[in-house]
Structure 1
Amino acid sequence: MDQPTIHPKITPIYQTSVFKFEDLDAVQQYFDEPGSSYMYSRNGNPNSDELAGAVNRWEGGAGAVATGSGMAAIFAAMLTYCQAGDHVLCAADIYGGSAALLNLELSRLGISVSYVPFESLYDLAGYAQPNSKLLLCETMSNPLLRVVDLHAAAKECHRHGLKLVVDNTFSTPVLTRPLAYGADLVLHSVTKYLAGHSDVTAGAVVARTAEDAARLRQIGVVFGLTLSPMESWLAVRGMKTMRLRVAAHSENALVVAEFLAEHPAVQAVYYPGLPDHPQHALAVTQGAGRFGGMLSFRLPDDAAVVNRFMQRSERFPFAPSLAGVDSSCSHPLSTSHRALTDAQRAELGITVGLVRLSVGIEPIEDLLADLAQALD
């Protein structure tokens, strides 16, 4: 009996490590016509390709690669432009994992790094060296939510012959598309807002040019950074609601930020949606009028005070990640930015009292009530 023709609305999960060929001619066609078929899932899989294509469309790129984590995405982005003997610039306001990769591993491979203070990102003359290749920054910095003027940063990078690599995880392409402002590569921890449900570990890098996209794919295959079929499928499913989720995250986070700004136990709030945020006007235009679901606030620099808040809160459990539909809190000093030196943390203001909130999409009255009782 002939097999029926199947036309699934949703891409099936191709949970296979290898694909079959009819004969030697079919294998030769695979190599002669890239993309005509699949051979081995490290080289490509329909699910990981679907995810890469979805992120690429959102960011408006020339091609993308899906990776096994956000850290793998950062690694792939660095190797797209760098080799031993090169130098990279990195914004001082950066995710601690990115700093750890640069300090501990890329330095071991002969790639050196210099950190650029936020106020100097648009004047790199004092930091760029003859062997400098790129600047790595975040659209909205982790954990203090400083907003980078991407157009100005890209213009300054290109003036010095540097590539601009932007981590767009906090913002998402729903709010900001860095390639449109002149960035050369955009990367995501897909684990966060793109997948959105705290059940996937994945990353992605998107290139502005076809040449860089081809280099990314080569790095992904040779280093084995490719994402598994199941994780890819889950991430694609999550991205189908990303636009709606990011809107809900943003709406809730603004209300939470306004509440915290008025609370007597809170010393400071860092959220681009607040009018007194230093980059508020930039965030309005660059972020399509929304500001994302991440914020940080400052309690007294007393571990006991922070612990009491964490112990009392029921809606914001201490879970050192972010961007799930359920709210959570994190402590940058002891988790995400642990790898930074004491001097780096002190310069950035990452102290015991700094708490980061990932505001979910729960009913806002429930979140406010929980914060009120936890802070009181």
Structure 2
Amino acid sequence: MKFNTKTIHGGQKPDAAYGSVMPPIYQTSTYAQSTPGGHKGYEYSRTHNPTRTALENAFASLENGKYGLAFSSGLAAIDAILKLLKPGDEVVSTNDLYGGTYRLFTKIYEDFGIKFHFTGMENAKRIEDNINENTKLIWVETPTNPMLNIIDIVSVAKIAKRYEVLLAVDNTFATPYLQQPLELGADIVMHSATKYLGGHSDLVMGALIVKDKDLAARLYFIQNACGAVCGPQDAFLALRGIKTLHIRMQRHCENGHAVAEYLAQHPKIENVYWPGFQNHPNHDIAKSQMKAYGGMVSFTTKGNNYEEAIKIVENLKIFTLAESLGGVESLAGHPASMTHASIPKEEREKIGVVDSLIRLSVGIEDEADLIADLKQAID
């Protein structure tokens, strides 16, 4: 089954009760049993819910995995991965990553005895410098948030296999439409389904997808035991969003390209970060492991002027100044004071998250309107 068909039919079948084409919202906490332990596959909705099962099947299908898990948020999904570890274990992570992930790593799990090494992974060989006998997990974002750095998943997967450590890839920015990390050697794929998978800025959710049965069993146990699951209403909304993922992503990519090209030619703009540019670091890797280059674009103004950056985002009319990304509407953010404020300033600036950096989530509006909006705000 081709990807565009999978978004609509992958892992899905009509509801058994009445043939409903869309999985019903099973808004229930518990299920009747004919005898203790005698049920139809569902006993309590923290453990399983038919609407969530349908969504988890869809997640697995999109990423060419075998097992999907839905959580109450992207951070809850990452939290479940970290609960595979124990005190004394170590993690090698990319140094350019979502601020909430960095906060979870450093402010929560370091206190539980997990050690994190943050390194630039544009050259995969740097990872090996941080691996030792305690390393149990490599954490990758690609493209990264917000600098859109590209990491070679195949090369990192070879390192992970050589040292027998797990490789988890946050695929939120790319989505399975553009990139499928399990096919490239990853063990776990994570999504903030709040973003492109849901696609309409109306839910908060996380997803994990794996191929290995034993790894899936460990994660399902954590999901049930800790209880950070999504509700059936959100599962229904995510299923609806997934059905248009392929056509939305086409427009996100087209508009992202147009916006990046416009910004690159603007005299007041210093740097534009977008993986589709031939001079973007690791562009050739992006070209080989991604179908297209996505709708995320970051840029800095000349002179690294904080006040100018704030003025731009405050004066946008069609781009909305807001957290998050991946919805049908275009959003603008100031990472240093919003999504990445939890990362110390000196650490942010080492990776390029300077005070003038603006991150755009380019939506599916008309590209001419988006460019006109950027023009009036910058000029």
Question: Is 1:262 the counterpart of 2:265 in the alignment?
Answer: yes
Report the counterpart of residue 32 of structure 2 in structure 1.
20
Q: 1:196 aligns with which of 192, 195, 199?
A: 199
Q: After TM superposition, give the deviation of residue 298 of structure 1 in Å.
A: 0.4
Where in structure 1 do 4 or more consecutive aligned residues deviate above 3 Å?
none
Report the counterpart of residue 66 of structure 1 in structure 2.
70
Change (3 A) 1:132 1:309: same
Q: After TM superposition, give the deviation of residue 74 of structure 1 in Å.
A: 0.8
Question: Is 1:43 the counterpart of 2:47 in the alignment?
Answer: yes
Q: After TM superposition, give the deviation of residue 340 of structure 1 in Å.
A: 1.2
Q: Distance in 2 between matches of 1:340 and 1:319?
A: 19
Report the counterpart of residue 22 of structure 2 in structure 1.
10
What is the correspondence of 1:101-120 to structure 2 with a 5 Å cutoff? 101-120=104-123
Q: After TM superposition, give the deviation of residue 122 of structure 1 in Å.
A: 2.8
With 344-353 and 164-173 compared, the bigger mean Cα shift is at 344-353
Q: 2:275 aligns with which of 266, 272, 277?
A: 272
Report the residue type matching 1:235 in the other structure: A
Q: Distance in 2 between matches of 1:120 and 1:104?
A: 27
Report the residue type matching 2:272 in the other structure: V
Q: After TM superposition, give the deviation of residue 120 of structure 1 in Å.
A: 4.6
Q: TM-score, normalised by structure 1?
A: 0.94
Question: Is 1:150 the counterpart of 2:128 in the alignment?
Answer: no
Report the residue type matching 1:296 in the other structure: S
With 207-216 and 359-368 compared, the bigger mean Cα shift is at 207-216
Equivalent pairs, count: 362
Q: Distance in 1 between matches of 2:125 and 2:68?
A: 27
Report the counterpart of residue 299 of structure 2 in structure 1.
297
Report the counterpart of residue 179 of structure 2 in structure 1.
176
Report the counterpart of residue 224 of structure 2 in structure 1.
221
CA contact (8 A) 2:122 2:282 kept: no
CA contact (8 A) 2:310 2:334 kept: no
Report the residue type matching 2:53 in the other structure: D
Q: Distance in 2 between matches of 1:124 and 1:301?
A: 31
Structure 1 unmatched runs, 5+: 31-35
Identity %: 39
Q: After TM superposition, give the deviation of residue 124 of structure 1 in Å.
A: 2.7
Report the residue type matching 1:297 in the other structure: F
Report the residue type matching 1:241 in the other structure: T
Report the residue type matching 2:332 in the other structure: C
Report the residue type matching 1:181 in the other structure: L
Q: After TM superposition, give the deviation of residue 10 of structure 1 in Å.
A: 1.1
Q: After TM superposition, give the deviation of residue 343 of structure 1 in Å.
A: 2.5
Q: Distance in 2 between matches of 1:127 and 1:281?
A: 25
Q: 2:132 aligns with which of 126, 129, 134?
A: 129
Report the counterpart of residue 327 of structure 2 in structure 1.
324
Q: 1:309 aligns with which of 309, 312, 316?
A: 312
Q: After TM superposition, give the deviation of residue 123 of structure 1 in Å.
A: 3.8
User: Helix, strand or coil: the match of 2:127?
Assistant: coil
Q: Distance in 2 between matches of 1:197 and 1:224?
A: 25
CA contact (8 A) 1:64 1:216 kept: no
CA contact (8 A) 2:196 2:326 kept: yes
Report the counterpart of residue 351 of structure 1 in structure 2.
354
Structure 2 unmatched runs, 5+: 1-16
Q: After TM superposition, give the deviation of residue 144 of structure 1 in Å.
A: 0.5
Q: 2:56 aligns with which of 44, 48, 52?
A: 52
User: Helix, strand or coil: the match of 1:291?
Assistant: coil
- Supply the RMSD in Å over aligned alpha carbons: 1.2
Q: TM-score, normalised by structure 2?
A: 0.93
